[in-house]
Structures are given as structure tokens and as C-alpha cells.
Structure 1
Amino acid sequence: MVYHHLYSRFATRSEVRVAVIGAGNYGSAIVTQDPATPRLAVVAVADISVDAARAAYEKGGFDMSHVTYAETVGDARQKIRAGARIYTDRSEILTEIDAVDVVCESTGMPEMSARYALAAIANGKHVAMITKDCDVAVGPILKRKAEQAGVVYTPVDGDQHGLLIQLYEWAKSVGLTVLSGGKATDGEFIYDRAAGTVTIQTDKKIHPPSVETITVAPQDARYLEMIPQGRTAEYVAERARILAGLPQPGSYDLCEMTIAANYTGMKPARDALYHAPLRITEIPVAYCGADDGGLFAASDVIDLATCLRAPDESGLGGGVFLVVRCDNAYSNHVLTTKGQIANYDDSAAVIYRPYHLCGVETSTSILMAGLLGIDTGAENYRPRYDLVKVAARDIGRGEVFGNDHDPSMSARIVPARPVAPGNLACAHLLRGNRAAVDIPAGTAITYDMVEEPEGSVLWALRREQDRVFLSSQAPSATDIQQEESRS
């Protein structure tokens, strides 16, 4: 890689001083990698739990005699100047500390994330946005504000959408035609032929009615073998039926794909995505054009895949993938005969990255911002699509909408529309707010179905984003539904 050349020749400073807001699993991994990462210094950590903030340094093996609590901006400045690392439960002070170059926003709370990002930009600090719930709702306007302020707003390596954006940008830069791309879900379906079972391998809790293992009926076993040429749609549909009892991709998966679509211009073939269970060898077979036996009518399609594999086979590791071709016949011959996995007629090949390391590898995005003043996203970040929610059960008036793990709602990806009655509501503008009306199961939730909170920075930013990027004459939810029914 060229990182060391870039840093040594073009860096504007010798070290990047970082503040991490949100000491969960992701944010803590940024801290614990600090001692092993040249040019990176996490000088401040904040969390609503002061114990969690302090524990991030403990997990990193820091000398805790040089780690201390700070309650005010002045206190933090003085202690950092004296060589200490600080932790706090006053997250807002981190955006005002002079000795911070990059703020890593990792709270997972879209309203607070928007507030901290806005404050960091106003104080001349770069923002590494880890809270995808905020990024998917108002990321484009935050990036625009950062550019106007002369700082960087960036997605991060380690998050799957950030890695997919970079893989896509690389593919386009070397002249590949991208047919599709996406991420692998964290859970993988392990098919034991001898036992006739499929078991999900995941670190997430399994909630009823989903189960960990299903038994495959003998007549269905053929659908779990390699997809035959010309039978993709049939096999994908049958697998969806057979494996329906296992945990399926969640709203958080679609959230990341929405951000990637907004950065790259890739588009979903349908609003709920296919998220097919596929072997690595089947990705170029299924996720290519219909003319070549795949599912898609167009190129540049974004989707999910759940890795289906035997216990002794390699998996996708929650990584990312592209299905590509070369438009020159000779180049395409090289592409499909030099080790890449191709489809049946060699019209497409899969390129994949079988891992994402979360906060362990986020330092590349942080250092790019802090040392070079560049982001690791794509150039034209626009609100092309919104993640929206559909009631999975009856939701009563006054109920509080939950996050992307709330089973009372499912997610869809649709063209972005402004905040207005009748328009489908951006999913994360719902979070923590109350239903204004009774919402029957199966109903797509619109803005007039939610009580708008007073004084919300997130909602204000979203309206500003609408004014900057979206037409006031955009179609309503009814128009969208009629368009989808015709297609």
C-alpha cells in the first residue's frame, strides 16, 4: 500500500490527535489500536458512562497514571497539554478542545451524533462518522458544511459501507464496469449436507420466531446445491422459502447499503433488496445481468448476500464484494481466467474482501483526514435514497419508535423525498419519537404519522439538506407506491 509514502511526503502534521465520542465496541477498538498505530494519538474519550470511557483506555493497556477525568473544556485542555489522556461523560466538551484534530462520532444516537458533528465542524475539526443512523439521514449536508468550513467529513474504513465505497471507487478507477456490489451479512448459513441442516453462525442474539438451525426437507436439498446455469431466479426464491426460519438481514444492513448507494450512485433493484443466500462462487452467477442468467435488469445494482457454505469452506467474513466485467474482450479474458471467480459464460467475475475489522482498521480514514485533509468516501455524496420503515405489526398512537433493531418495523430503500406530509419518513427521524396516529401493520410510515420533536438538530439539518439537494416538487409516497406497482 502507499499509505507510508503519502504520510511521509504529504502530511501536514506529524501526528493526528483524536477524540472518540462513544466508547462502545467500535469506538473502543479505535482506542485500543492507538498504541500500535503510528501517527495516531487518541487524546480524549467520552461516553455517557464514565466507566466505559475510562475502560477503553484500560483495554488498550495505557498507563492509567497518565489517564484522568475531565469535566470542562478548560480542564481537558490543561491536562492534555500536560501530557495526559482524558476521559469524560461530558461528550460536548470534546468538540471544543484545541488539541483535537479529528472527532470520531460513535454514539449510535442520530440526534446526538448530528449535534456533535455539527459542533466539531464549527470548531474546525474533521469528523469521522461512525454513527450510520446519522449519516444515512443527514450525511450529505454535513459533508457539504465540512467542505465549506475547510475540514473533512468522512465515512470510515472498518464499516462495511465505507469499505464498499472504496472498493467501488477503485474498480471505477481501473476501468471496470460494475454490475453489482454489496456487503455480506455478518451471519453465515452453514449447510451440513450429512445432517441435512442449516445453522446460522453469528455473534448476535437470535430472537423468536427465528431459530438457530433448520432441518432441510429431502425434496428441498437440491436447492442448496450450486445454482445451475439459467435457474438463478428459481433457486434464489426457493432458498428464501427454505431458509426463512433463520435470522434474516436487519434494517441496519439496509442502512449501510443506503449510505453506500448515496455515495456511489449504485441503486437497489427493489426496495427490500434480494439479500440472497449465496456461495462465494454463486455471487457472479446471481448478481449479474438477466441476459447472462442473473437477477438484475441493469448494472450498478446494490444488494446484500448471506454466505451459504459448508462447515469446512471459506466464508465472506462480513466483507464486501463487487461483480464486475471488462468491456474489452481481451481485458475480460484476463479478468476471468487469472483466478477470479466468474459466472458460467465468463461475462462477470466477483472481487471480494472477506473481512471488515470495525474500529481496528478505522485509523486509515482518521489519518487520511488528519494528515492529508482528504476523506475515504466518494466525491459526489448526495441524498439519492432514504431508508424508510414499514410497520411489521400494529403500532398504536403514542408508541415510541425504536432503532434499527426494533422488530416492530422493517426497512426499505426508496428514492429520497423532502420532509413533508405524505412523504415516506427517513427512518432515523422516527427514532425516539412518538407515533402521531395508529399505524396498521404493513403501512409505510410517512412524516404525518410521527410527532416531530421540538428543537431537534437532526430534523433541522434534514430540512436544510432537503432545500439544498431535493426538489420541493418530489413525488409523494402514493406516487412511489403506484410507480412500484407498475414496475
Structure 2
Amino acid sequence: MNYELLFDALKSRRIRIAVTGASGGFGRSLLVQCRDIPSLDIVALCDLNTQGAQDLLQELNYGKEATVCDDAASTLDAQAQGKTAIVADFNLLDNLELDMVIEATGKPEISVRIAVNALQRGVHVGMVSKETDSVAGPWLNNMALKHNAVYTTVDGDQPANLLGLITWARVLGFDVIAAGKSSEYDYVWSQTSGELDYCGRKVDAKALAGHWALGEDVKHTLAERKALLSMLPLSATPDYCEMNVVANSAALVPACDALNYPLCHISELADVFIPLEEGGILTQTGVVDVFNCLRRDDEVSFGGGVFIIVRCKDDATWEMLAGKGHVVGRNRKYACIYLPYHIMGLESPHSIFSAVLHQRSSGSTQQAIHAVMAGYADRDLKKGELLEMGGHHHTIPDVSARLLAKADAEQVAPYYLLSNKVLTRDVAAGELIKLDALEMEDSLLWTAWQESWDMEH
């Protein structure tokens, strides 16, 4: 793809955008790249921390004057003067002339309102808040179509990147057996010391040497590795959310409720994510899943990247490709194609250009639910408890994630619909949290979920 030709219209077009949740890590990475793209005009930044947003622009030497605005008149005046308006109230964005809103608050109930406000006036929405998309993505897609706007996940985050890889393969006629990503952080082993480093936490893992190579019994090797590293976190809530978005976008289903999370090397992916009867771990195909990247300290990272497993349909071709270093399974029936990077907002302008210049989503226009990220009670939860979401990974204490096929999710509450809701009844440890256990008053996210589910029934 020649991107200069694809987006040739940028030479004569300025694109007006607003970024919400602007002072977060994603907002920063997007703004860093926008500095070098003359056609992008940052009309507004929305963040409760207005001083943080202002400081960020100054730190980045943005080169455009910014001003904090607290009412409609001042925001309009800022745009008229060519300044970036910094606002705490997202409703003030409705006063501005915009082509697209990039939504990155990570707060589902607020996020869905921001998206609705934009779409209803024909402004495109790039949804970075995957928490919102996992609950309301199909509903917001439907709304966008009704208002001649684009609703999309954005390049640079794994859901859009993986959907790009899946659809690239499908257009080329590949049979996609599985699609997935690595979890956020690698498990890095030192041959010298025998220690394994995970996010700065080091554990003695000398015994890994005996299980470093994938044995003939794949499941046995994976089980041994998992047992040796069981003291470390081996799954992460955001992964379930991202795979939920991909499943809905690409009409795939979860490999299993807990996802498999094998500890494996990049070179093993085409031996692991294949059908059980052929030596792998999958009980069905056409699935989403996640792996934990196990590597030596002198090996390259997967970079939080994405992969697909495809079926090999010509022995000679794939033998040749294996000789060139591509990841082909030992039985030569499957191959792994992957993108070893995840560079966040640095890549997201492509999605802005696609939406504004071509009226095309970088994600999907799917309006169907194929998977539901559910909340699983890790302890007895009591009536009246607040399920408060927080932390870097946007988790709910004592509630872990599961990813269910739609057929198994009747009356189950999506995980991020639980966010900051009060329980109306007790939920026993080991139960999935149901919709009737939540206080839903004034929840637009609940409306979105109801209508999405009802659209298909």
C-alpha cells in the first residue's frame, strides 16, 4: 500500500480533531505524532486535568497557542482565533466545528456519551476506549451509519491492528484458524542467571531450561512452563477486552472462556494455536486467543503485537517460506503471520485520514455481538457493594474476566457495564455477574447493550 497515494488529499485538506482523555499515555503518543502532520489541526483537548493537558502541550513544544475554556463562548472564541481549546466538560466539544473526536478517557459511561454527542451531529469517532467498544461497539456502529459518520477503532491499538491483519488475510484467500495477540509484557529469561524477569519482578526459573524447547506433547510442555511460573500473573483484564472487540469485529469466537495464555516462543505459535487433534491446543477454529511471550534476554520482543494462524495449502510454497525464516509449524500444515509492534497513537493518524478522507472505518462496521467479556466473582460479593473500576489496567477488584461466546452469555452482564455500578443482590464466589444484579439507573451504556442485544433477537 502506498500511503502517500492513498491519502493524497492531505495536501489540500486540514482535518479538525478533538482528543478526550488527552493527558493520558495514548493522548500523548497521538499528540507527539500530530506535531509532524501539518494537515491535522488539534481544535480541542478534553481532560478533567486541564492543567495536565496544558502542561503536555508545552512540554511537547506544540507550537500552537492553547487556552483553558469553561463555557461555550470561550470555546468558540478559541477556535475562531486558531487556538486549541482545553476543556474539562466534554459537552463543550459540541460547540466546535470538528471532523473527528478521538475518545480516550477509558471511562465507559462518559465515553459512550462523548461518542453519541459526536455521531449524532455527523462527527466521526475514533474509539480508543476499548472498554466502551466491548459493550457498545455494535450499537455505536449502527448509530454512525444512521448519521452518515464513521465509528472506528484506531490503528496503533491491538484491536484495529489485528483486524487489519485478519482482513488482509481473508482478502488474499487465507483460511484464518486463529487470531490473537501477545499479552502486554514479555516473560524474559536469562540463560546466564536462570532468572526470569516479568515487569521488573525477578524469579528463580533455572528449571525452565528443561522445558525451553517445545516437546512432542505440546500441552505437556505448556503445562510444565505454567507450573514453573505460576507465582506470576499469567493473564490480564485488558486482553479479554481487546479480544472481545476483535471477536465482534471479525465474527470470531473465544478459544475458551479464560483464554489459553500459553507461555511460548514466537517460533512456536504455529504449533500451539492449531487444532487439538493435530497436536495443538484449540478445540475449535475461527477463534481469538492470547499468548504470553516467553523469550531469552537476547531475543527480540513481540512488542505487544498481533498474529494470525493460517492454513498452508501448498507444501512447496510453505517449505520455501520456512527456509526464508517464516514461522511454519512442524507438521507444515499451519503458519503464523504476525506484526511485532503496538505503537499506540503514533500510528492512529491513519485511522483519522481513512475516516475523514474516505468515510471508511479502520475497524469494522459489524453490528453483531459474537462474544461477551463477562465478570466473574472471585469472592462473595454483597448487595450494596460498589464495583469500582480503576488502576492502570481498568480492573474491578475481586472481579476477574472471562470471554464467552454469545450463545453462552444470555443475561450475563458485560464486564465494563459493571464499572462503578452498585450490586442489587448478593453474588456468590464463582458466579458470573448477571444483568439483574446491577443498579442501572441513568446508564446510557445499559441502553446501548439492551438495544444491541435486542437488534439480533
Please say whether Structure 1 and Structure 2 have the same fold, judged by a TM-score greater than 0.5. Answer: yes
2:37 matches 1:37: yes
Deviation at 1:165, TM superposition (A): 0.7
Q: Give the number of aligned pairs.
A: 452
Whether the aligned pair in 1 keeps the contact of 2:254 and 2:371 (CA below 8 Å) is no
Tell me what 1:432 maps to: 420
Whether the aligned pair in 2 keeps the contact of 1:154 and 1:377 (CA below 8 Å) is yes
Which TM-score applies when normalising by structure 1?
Answer: 0.88
Which of 94, 104, 109 is the matching residue for 2:107?
A: 109
Instruction: Describe the superposition over 1:238-284 as per-residue Cα deviations: whole angstroms up to 9, x where unpaired.
Output: 22221111122211111101100110122222100101111111111
Deviation at 1:222, TM superposition (A): 1.6
C-alpha distance in structure 2 between counterparts of 1:459 and 1:92, whole Å: 20
Which of 266, 270, 284 is the matching residue for 1:298?
A: 284
C-alpha distance in structure 2 between counterparts of 1:448 and 1:90, whole Å: 32
C-alpha distance in structure 1 between counterparts of 2:101 and 2:77, whole Å: 19
C-alpha distance in structure 2 between counterparts of 1:160 and 1:246, whole Å: 23
2:107 matches 1:121: no
Q: Aligned partner of 1:30: which letter?
A: L
Tell me what 1:406 maps to: 396
Tell me what 1:271 maps to: 257
**Helix, strand or coil for the counterpart of 2:242?**
helix
C-alpha distance in structure 2 between counterparts of 1:237 and 1:392, whole Å: 23
Tell me what 1:145 maps to: 143
Q: What pairs with 1:50-89 in structure 2 (closer than 5 Å)? A: 50-63=50-63, 66-89=65-88
Deviation at 1:116, TM superposition (A): 0.7
| Closer, same or farther: CA 96–466 of 1 in aligned 2, 3 Å | farther
**Helix, strand or coil for the counterpart of 2:243?**
helix
C-alpha distance in structure 1 between counterparts of 2:35 and 2:205, whole Å: 48
Which of 416, 422, 430 is the matching residue for 1:442?
A: 430
Tell me what 2:374 maps to: 388
Instruction: Describe the superposition over 1:153-188 as per-residue Cα deviations: whole angstroms up to 9, x where unpaired.
Output: 000011111111111111111122212111111211
C-alpha distance in structure 1 between counterparts of 2:12 and 2:91, whole Å: 25
Q: What pairs with 1:24-423 in structure 2 (closer than 5 Å)? A: 24-63=24-63, 66-98=65-97, 100-201=98-199, 212-216=201-205, 218=207, 221-223=209-211, 225-229=212-216, 231-403=217-389, 404-416=394-406, 423=411
Which of 460, 465, 470 is the matching residue for 2:452?
A: 465
Deviation at 1:59, TM superposition (A): 3.1
| Closer, same or farther: CA 123–73 of 1 in aligned 2, 3 Å | farther
**Helix, strand or coil for the counterpart of 1:181?**
strand
Deviation at 1:406, TM superposition (A): 2.6
Which TM-score applies when normalising by structure 2?
Answer: 0.94
Q: Aligned partner of 2:141: which letter?
A: K
Instruction: Describe the superposition over 1:306-364 as per-residue Cα deviations: whole angstroms up to 9, x where unpaired.
Output: 11011101110111111223334454445444331111122112111111111111111
* Structure 1: segments with no counterpart, 5+ residues: 203-211, 472-487
2:4 matches 1:4: yes
C-alpha distance in structure 1 between counterparts of 2:286 and 2:213, whole Å: 25
Whether the aligned pair in 2 keeps the contact of 1:417 and 1:424 (CA below 8 Å) is no
**Helix, strand or coil for the counterpart of 2:7?**
helix
Q: Aligned partner of 2:122: which letter?
A: G
Name the stretch that deviates more: 403-412 or 322-331. Answer: 322-331
Q: CA RMSD in A?
A: 2.1
Q: Aligned partner of 1:415: which letter?
A: A
Whether the aligned pair in 1 keeps the contact of 2:197 and 2:203 (CA below 8 Å) is yes
C-alpha distance in structure 2 between counterparts of 1:110 and 1:417, whole Å: 24
Whether the aligned pair in 2 keeps the contact of 1:53 and 1:87 (CA below 8 Å) is yes
Whether the aligned pair in 1 keeps the contact of 2:195 and 2:206 (CA below 8 Å) is no
Q: Aligned partner of 2:205: which letter?
A: V
C-alpha distance in structure 2 between counterparts of 1:241 and 1:450, whole Å: 37
Q: Aligned partner of 2:333: which letter?
A: S
Whether the aligned pair in 1 keeps the contact of 2:109 and 2:445 (CA below 8 Å) is yes
